[in-house]
Amino acid sequence: MEMVAELVVVVGSVGLVVSRWLPEAVRGWVAVGAVGVVAVAGVGLAGFGVRWQVLVVLAADLLVGAGWVVRRRRGRVRWWVALPGSMVCLGLVAAGGVAGWALPVPGFPEPFGPFGVGTTVVQWSDPDRGEAATPDVGDRRVVVVQLWYPAGAVGADAPRAQYLGRDRREADIVAAGEAEYLGAPAFVLDGPPRAHTHAVFDAAPAAGGRFPVVLFSPGLGGLRTQNTAWAEDLASRGYVVAGVDHPYDSAAVVLAEGRTVRTRISDEGSGTRSDWIAVRAADLRFVLTQLGRLDDGRMDVGRVAVTGHSLGGAAAMRAAQQDARFGAVINLDGGPDPEQGPLRQPVLALTHEIRDKADADYLALLAKVLESGTATSYRLTVPGSAHLTFTDAPLYLPPVPSVVGSLGAAGSVRMTTETCAVFLDATLRGRAVDLPAVLARDGDLRVFP
């Protein structure tokens, strides 16, 4: 509805600018009609909060209004003076409209599985680990974890979960932190905090059975929510997904007491990539232990996969090497640590399309690690994909192939969720699936060893 109202504002504004050049008999009617259309749509947008892209468009309307005032006071303005002004106004309308299209409020695809989706957020402090990122000796390592889980029937009118946080305030803080991490002004990412997902906070869990568990670690500076579409889809298929915020690494983490922890990964002395991987791997092992203590009979912590995107994928592989409780690994386009050892668990590694020597070197290292494993593993290189294809980014970033790939928002989510789901069904649930045949539908598959 919000996107429709924004489109109406753009169309009405174009009519308002163009009305200056129409025959005098219809000029006034078109202008008045355009003002009415913009006003009605603007009132509708007021309920959502007007985005900055719309403000750019409305600036053009104000300039047109200023031109009317000048004409009424000084008389007719010559065309060669008015034309540049109209071109500027059309440029503003076009810029705002394109920006609104390129940076939309994300719409999340309907989860595929038969279950409703519930979500909740927990925070745990590890008594056995100090916080290496702070000078205070007494600080303990804290993690924030969001769970997506199979829920019972969810009413159509049940409030849907806020994207990026427990509430709008947290979502705005997190989005601003992510924009700052990317070197962009906070207002650029104003679309994601306005979105709601398909999950319902604290919904009643689905009855019957015990559900396998999937841990998720985001990319460097990433967020526990960065793969929400993927997590909700897996939860609807009968998995409990635990997305982990890694404080002082994630762009911004809002703790239960309201304090915001910003990233320190770019600070001098903040450690190396291997150091961050080691901390994340320890976080993942700790979260699995806590989930075992939290288990109310619905989580099957005997069937667990550890997953991650980018640096999180490398951390997932390291955690699996260190902890045999993890029964499977999914690495979403993450380059392994050069010190990564062989794995006993089956691995699914999704990688972006190879474009240069750095990509080839990354694939060679990944192949070396998978070749040394003792279980059958799979590397799927997806044509048309980019590094962020395997996240929620295609839902709200500009469709630039080098950034989010060329599969489209729906195609990116479908590919990522379906390949991961079929792998998890085979490895955690023991379902008879011809994995090579199914995975090969989405790209160039190599089986190891």
Give kind and range of the element (H or E) at residue 178.
helix 168-181
Residues 6 or more apart in contact with residue 8 via CB below 8 angstroms: 37, 38, 40, 41
Asked if 252 and 262 count as a contact pair (C-beta separation under 8 A), the reply is: yes
Q: Model's pTM, two decimal places?
A: 0.94
Residue closest to 88 by CA, chosen among 50, 59, 55, 52: 59
The predicted pLDDT at position 71 comes to 74
Amino acid at 218: P
CA 89, 91, 96, 100 dihedral sign is positive
In contact, 362 and 353? CB cutoff 8 Å: no
CB 416 within 8 A of CB 389: yes
* pLDDT of res. 267: 65
pLDDT tens, per residue, the chain with 449 residues: 688 899 999 999 999 999 988 998 898 899 999 999 999 988 888 877 889 999 999 999 999 988 888 777 776 767 777 889 999 999 999 999 999 999 999 999 999 999 999 999 999 999 999 998 887 767 899 999 999 999 998 888 899 999 999 999 999 999 999 999 999 998 999 999 999 999 999 999 998 789 999 999 999 999 999 999 999 999 999 999 999 999 999 999 999 999 999 998 876 567 889 999 999 999 999 999 999 998 777 899 999 999 999 999 999 999 999 999 999 999 999 999 999 999 999 999 999 998 888 888 999 999 999 999 999 999 999 999 999 999 999 999 999 999 999 999 999 999 999 999 999 999 999 999 999 999 999 999 999 98
The residue with tokens 């997506």 is 148
Task: Give the N- to C-terminal CA distance of the chain in Å, as an integer.
Answer: 51
How far is CA 77 from each of CA 22, 71, 148, rounded to the nearest angstrom? 15, 6, 62
Helix-strand-coil percent breakdown of the chain, rounded to 5? 45, 20, 35
pLDDT of residue 135: 77
- Which structural domains are found in the chain, ordered by start? 2-102 (no CATH), 116-448 (3.40.50.1820)
* Cα–Cα distance, 372 to 366 (Å, whole number): 10
